[in-house]
Amino acid sequence: MARISNTVITILNIVTATLAVAAIATFIYLRFFDGRPSHCERTLEKPVLISALVILAVSLFGLIGSCCRATLLLWVYLFVVFLMILGWFSLSVFVFVVTNKGAAQAVSRAGFREYRLGDYSHWLQNHVVNGKNWEEIRSCLVDAKICKFLGHGFDQNDQNATGIFNKNLSPVQSGCCKPPSYCGFTAVNATYWTVPVTGPATPDSDCETWSNNQQELCYDCKSCKAGVLNNIRNEWRSFAIFNAIILVGLLIVYATACCAATNNRRHRKLSY
């Protein structure tokens, strides 16, 4: 039994260590050999590198502990895995709570929905789409050119641009690539709109924020932030299944490591 549990822990940690090394190698390649990374890519580098280094360190503890029957290292490994289980469970609960709000409104006679920032939790508003965080997200949106292809097939006589927006716009495109429909702007093309002589139909900050500058558009609008939050909400909700699988996997690893540590200690006592 001791040999089986140690073998299982060894195999699991070889796999995780290999994945961590692959992630670190990918980081090094992208950082130093793949040209100049964009600002968006740079914002993703640090968390990926830190996660890979932590996983590699934990895997080495488990690998050395199981291969060399180093009980102390296995107990350290167990402690770290226990903290990971607590952290992952807490994260799952937290994600459920902060994504519990959020809805979209369908626009009459158009094939798209519009999103309001106030429909999402205060935590998401205050920590995801505010200040420096939003500047980084905004940079990623500009780099991705999410609005670039909206103009294909534009009908100049379609002043409300409903023909374009019947293409099932993504939440981010709906919020960032056009002014909100309630502003009453007239479409010149997919990303160029004119303001009525009398001004916006509704005195809303998003109507004032909209710009025909292709680097600005509605990237600083509340509707854009709401579209991003809707994407995050949907992705985090979908992530719940993955969270459950990871949590079950961590529990299995923890139980196996407990068995290995206990058997190693028993084996050491018998050898004396």
pLDDT, tens digit (0-9, with 9 covering 90-100), for 27-42: 888 777 766 666 666 6
Bridge partners, 106 (sequence order): 113
Q: pTM score, two decimals?
A: 0.74
pLDDT value of residue 148: 80
**Alpha helix stretches (DSSP H) within 100-204:** 122-127, 131-144, 162-165, 171-176
Residue range 74-122, pLDDT digits in tens: 888 999 999 989 988 888 888 888 887 655 554 544 556 778 888 888 8
Torsion of CA 174, 179, 185, 189, to 10 degrees: -60
Q: Where are the domains of the chain?
A: 2-100+241-271, 106-228
Q: CB 216: neighbour CB atoms within 10 A?
A: 14
CA angle in degrees (0–180, nearest 5) for 136-235-124:
55
Contact by Cβ (8 Å): 243, 95: yes
Average pLDDT, 10 consecutive residues per value, the chain (272 residues): 75 89 85 67 73 89 84 87 90 82 52 78 86 86 83 52 63 90 85 88 92 92 92 81 82 87 68 52
For residues 179 and 161, the answer to whether their CB atoms sit within 8 Å is: no
